[in-house]
Every structure is written in structure tokens, then in C-alpha cells.
Chains A and B, each alone.
Chain A
Amino acid sequence: MKTPLDVLRRGDTDVASGTMQRAPATRTPPARRPRRRLPNPLRGRWGVLVAATVLGLLVLGALGADGLRPAADLRSDLDQVLLPPSWDHPLGTDAAGRDLLTLILHAMRVSFTVAALAALLAVLLGGAIGIVAGVVGGAVDAVIMRVVDFLMSQNHLLFSLLIAVLAFPVAGGAGAVMLAVGLTHWTSMARILRSEVLTLRERPFFHAAIGVGAGRVHLVRRHLLPHLAPSAALGFVLLAPHAIFHEAALSFLGLGLPPDNPSLGTLVAAGQQALLKGGWWLVLFPGLVIVIASMCVGALGDWWRARSQPRWRSELEL
């Protein structure tokens, strides 16, 4: 039987050298920053299909949460507190006697929405900054790229925490998470789009447009943006797992989505208290959804990247 891992045998190529000539005797020193890539068991045709199917089911479940398990059923029932998984409650019940499956379906909707919007914010912000750096150039470019270098060497969670705290009073939990993720994760997108702008600027059509007197705004809108859109879309998918993780982490810490509108991270945090009373399902299942969702999105992103932007492998450290 073919398992997802079998796919690796063919697809795995010791990543870079699989098709390369043998390296010459005097090898140039390796790049200063090693690649950050993991071989992905969900790759190859079947792996991607599995990832897409699972992700599709999760998204469908999140969208159809109201139809499948209406939120109205979420009444606390003190006769049904902390029940392990059973036929009536496939994933058990929580400390207030609410059905965990219902909670998870609704939390998925919250988590996925917030993560998608956060990733979108990061892409838009990174895109805008990267295009400005590439188009304006000079000192502006230099300063922006130094900031990018610095932020990329740092851990995002530290700054997310600060941003979430500052944004919480005005933006609310969901808004704070979006801002925290967006303001920390724009850097790789800015770096990529800037380098693409620099390449595009040397293309003949760009020179021709300048030659016929196109202004800067027109150049960006008609001659840069259409070329950058595919990369931005891919960047969105590649950022999504990070957004899912950060949303979960901030909500887990109590700085994101509140308990009355729980996300998956909030559910894990709530399960923490039940864990010592034996309520393992309250931690296991919401976390498992986070893991599965980010693995599937990551697999799809990897697949798309390998097809459309093979060069990104070495450039991109999202």
C-alpha cells in the first residue's frame, strides 16, 4: 500500500543537489544562511491531493458550522460536564458541558478568518513597502532593507505580544491579532517583491513605458502590479500557516480572541485547566486541528512554490 511517506522516495532529492552536477573539488563556501526547508511528506501528486482534500473538508466544516452543529446547541449542561468522546459527543464535552465538536467547528471559522485576514494584511503591507523600496531606491531602499534584515533575524512572537497589547483596546481581540501578525510578518514579502521590482525595472517593456512618458503611479499600476500579483498570492498562502500559529499562540496567552468568541487557541487555553482533571480531549483535538490545518496549507504552499517559483527556495524564509 502506498502511504503518503512513499511519495518521498521519488520526490526527495536531498534538496538542492539532486539534479546538479557533482560539485567541483574546490567548492565555494556555503551560503552564510543555511536554507530553512523541510522535506514535506505531503508532496507529490497524492500528497497534495490529500492535503487539498483535508483542507477543503476543514474549510467546509468551518463554513457549514451553523448547519452542521448550530451554535444554539452550545448551552452549558451541568449533567454533561467533561464527558469523554462518545457517540453523542464525538469529541467529548468541556467543563461547562458544551459539545467540543460544535465548539471546534465555530472556533475554526474564527481562526481561519482571522488568520486569512492577518496574512492578507502582511502581504499588502509587505507588498506596499517592497514596491516603494524597489521603485524609489536609494537611501529609502537601504533603510527599509536594513529594517527588514533586522526584523527577520528576530523572533516574531516577542513583538507580536507588544503589538497585541497596544492594539487591543481599539482593535479588539481579532483586530489585535491581525495587526500583530501583519506588522511582524510583512518582511519576507517586502524582500521578495522588492527584488522582483528590481528585475522588472530592467525589462524592455518597462523602459518603453518610461520612454513614452508614463508616470510613476501609472508604471506601478499597469506595469508592475500585474506582474507582482502571482507572487503576492503565493506569499499569502505561504504566510497562512504562520498566521494560524500566531493567532493560536496569542489567543492561548489570553491576548487574542476572547472566550465568548473562541478561536482554536482559546479552546486549547480553556482545555489547559481541564487537563489535570483528565480532560485530555479538550487540549488534544483543538490543537490537532491547528496542526492539521497548518500542515495542509503548508503542503499546498510548498507545491505551488515548487511549480511557480523554484528560485524562492533559497530566498524565502517566511
Chain B
Amino acid sequence: MTRHRNHGLGRLVARRLLVLPVVLVAVAAMTYLLVAVSPFDPMSAYEAGSAGLSAQAKDEIRAAWGMDAPTYLQFLHWLGNVLQGDLGHSRLLGGQPVLPQLGARLAPTAILVGTALALTLVGGLLAGVAAAAFRDSWVDRAIRGLSYVSVAAPSFWTGLLLLWVFSSWLGWFPAGGSANLRARDVGLVDPRYLVLPAIALAATQFAWFAMFVRNQLLEVMREDYVVFAQAQGIGRWPVLLRHALPNALLPFLTLAGVHLAEIVGGTILVETVFSWPGLGQLAVEAARAVDLPLLVGITLLGSVTVVLGNLLADVCYRVADPRIRESTA
């Protein structure tokens, strides 16, 4: 039985993992193309730091950098480096190699994304069940209204309003940063610093989940087996939670995969608002300083994360739903 449960799953994962390098190369090619067609010239960026170079010196520097080679050769060279983990050096961070720097900033962002994702899923689930259980009551209407507004509200604005109310006014939470700057050895992050950014990040996405759960539940509640359970005299909540909810939840995981991209991208804005020392803030700093190796590195890392997240969601979905599992095995 257990063997049967995972039949075909290994093959699926293997196939998707095989595609991963292709995706990585495609992303790299696309980013490279963007930089290549843009008017950005590394020479003039370099020149800004050291004035008065002769034309001959410039040519020599270009040649030393390999900039006299055809574009496709430059691309292949760069791609080879990227695949070996060499993303170049960051001007912003004093000429250090990019990859180790990304690694150092990964943990805070991962914690923020993880917390926000958990908040989104749990909050969306609770709100969706509540809205479905009290359909058309004021609870339902309040949740739907809130959902609609929260999706339209940009996360940086929500974040600033949270800061104003809970930090400036009520003083419940610190205004920004994360505790790990001061207490390097004591755990990673002080939870008090995490609350507001995680809420701001989750607020942009939770509505999709709440409305999704609500609509799925209301749809499933019409099925024969649910009607039969109700006819048996089983109480309202057991029917809702034990009979209807599991079936309503199946595509939830895929939705989580889809919205992971939004949450990862959302860190750019939220980390900037809350001075959260993660990759999102670093991306903005790199963008303001036109530090391309760093910015490209973060973009690549972000899109690979999203691809992996989607893969993970797919795998979980297949484990959870036997019908899908059999149709693709």
C-alpha cells in the first residue's frame, strides 16, 4: 500500500529536476539579454570611478575584460561562471564575490517568507472556513470586503500603516530591523521584529486563499455525500470540517505554489519598509547603486526559488490527491 502511494512520484520529481537546469539557463539567458540590449556599459560605470583614461587604456581594459569578444561568447563565458556559482563581484559590497553575500542574507528572507506563507495559509484557511460556515452573514461579508481591499492595497502601504498603528502609536512592536544585528548568537530573529513584516507580506496574499477555501467549500457542500452526511443528522461543524473540508482543500497546495512567487517578490517592498536585513532589501540597494552582478544574482536566486517552490507544491499535491497521482503515474 505504501509502495503504491508514491508510485510515479519519483519519476515526476526526476523529470522536473532534469528540466531545472534548462530553466536556469533560460532565466540566465533572458537576464543576460536584458542587460545586453540595455544601454548599460560596464566601461562607463568603471570610468566614473577613475577619470581621465586614454582611449588606448580603455581598449586595453575592454580586452582584459573580454568585452571585445562577440556577445554570444561573452554570454557563454558568463553562463559557465554562473553554473559554477561565480556570479561576479559586487561593487556595493566592496568588491566581494556575490554568491557568499547572497547566502549570508538568505536566512532572514527565508524566515520572513516562511512565516508569511504560514500566516497566509493558516489565516486564509480560518477566514475561508468562517466565511463559508456563516455564509451571507456579516462575518462572511466582512471577510469578503477585507479580502477585496487587502488585495488592492500595496504591501508597502499596508506595512507603513501597520508601523504607524502598532509601532508609532501603540508601541507594541519595534519599528524596523531584526534583532539578530544586536544579538548575533541568541537565535536568529527576535519574533517581535518579525510580526509586522510578516503580517504586511501575508496581507497581500491571504485573501486569495480565504476566498478560494470559501468557494471550494460552498461547492463541495452541494455534493451528494455531504448532503447525505447532513441527512444523517451529523452536526454542522463536523460535516463542514471532517466531510467537506478535506475535499475542498486539495488544490490549496498548488495555489500555495502559485502565490509563493508573489510572496518572494513581495519581500522587496516589505523588507524595504521594515529595514529587514534580507535579500529583498539588498536587491533594492543593488538597484539604487546600479550594482548589476548583485541584482542579477538576486533575480536568478529568486526565480529558481519560485521554480523549486512550484515543484514542491506539485509533489505535495500528488501525494495528497490519489486521482492526480494515478492520472500522471
Q: Is residue B151 contacting chain A, with contact meaning CB distance below 8 A?
A: yes
For residues 1 through 40 of chain A, which have their beta carbon under 8 Å from a beta carbon of chain B? Answer: 5, 8-9, 14-17, 22-23, 25, 29-40
The stretch of B76-84, B184-192, B229-237, B253-261 in contact with A is B253-261
Cross-chain contact B160 with A155 (CB below 8 angstroms) = no
The CA of A38 and the CA of B255, in the complex, are separated in Å by: 14
Number of chain A interface residues as a range: 35 or more
Secondary structure of the B side of the interface?
helix
The stretch of A93-101, A158-166, A215-223, A303-311 in contact with B is A158-166
Cross-chain contact B269 with A249 (CB below 8 angstroms) = yes
Cross-chain contact B218 with A165 (CB below 8 angstroms) = no
Cross-chain contact A5 with B250 (CB below 8 angstroms) = no
For residues 150 through 175 of chain B, which have their beta carbon under 8 Å from a beta carbon of chain A? Answer: 151-154, 156-157, 160-161, 163-164, 168, 175
The CA of A137 and the CA of B161, in the complex, are separated in Å by: 49
Q: If the complex has contacts A29-B321, A158-B265, are A5 and B157 also in contact, measured as CB distance less than 8 A?
A: no
Across the interface, B161 reaches (CB within 8 A) one of A34, A283, A290, namely: A283
Q: Mark A252-275, 1 if CB is under 8 A from B, else 0.
A: 111100000000000010011001
The CA of A29 and the CA of B299, in the complex, are separated in Å by: 34
The CA of A199 and the CA of B161, in the complex, are separated in Å by: 48
The stretch of B1-9, B64-72, B114-122, B141-149 in contact with A is B141-149
Secondary structure of the A side of the interface?
helix
B residues within 8 A CB of A36?
Answer: 208, 258
Q: Mark A83-127, 1 if CB is under 8 A from B, else 0.
A: 000000000000000000000000000000000000000000000
A254 to chain B, nearest CB (A): 6
Q: If the complex has contacts A34-B251, A34-B255, A248-B154, are A161 and B144 also in contact, measured as CB distance less than 8 A?
A: no
B318 to chain A, nearest CB (A): 10
Q: Is residue B134 contacting chain A, with contact meaning CB distance below 8 A?
A: no
The stretch of A57-65, A228-236, A291-299 in contact with B is A291-299
Cross-chain contact A272 with B273 (CB below 8 angstroms) = yes
What residue in chain A is nearest B167 (Cβ atoms)? Answer: A276
Q: Mark B262-300, 1 if CB is under 8 A from A, else 0.
A: 101110110011000000000110011010100110110
Residues of A participating in the B interface, judged by any CB pair closer than 8 Å = 5, 8-9, 14-17, 22-23, 25, 29-42, 146-147, 150, 153-159, 161-167, 169-170, 241, 245, 248-249, 252-255, 268, 271-272, 275-276, 278, 280, 283-284, 287, 290-291, 294-295, 298
Q: A22-B222, A29-B321 are in contact. List 13 more A-B contacts (CB 8 A).
A: A5-B145, A25-B224, A32-B254, A37-B211, A154-B302, A157-B268, A162-B295, A166-B38, A249-B156, A252-B272, A253-B269, A280-B168, A294-B152
Lowest 9 A-B CB distances belong to which pairs?
A155-B265, A287-B157, A166-B38, A157-B265, A14-B218, A155-B261, A34-B251, A29-B323, A295-B152
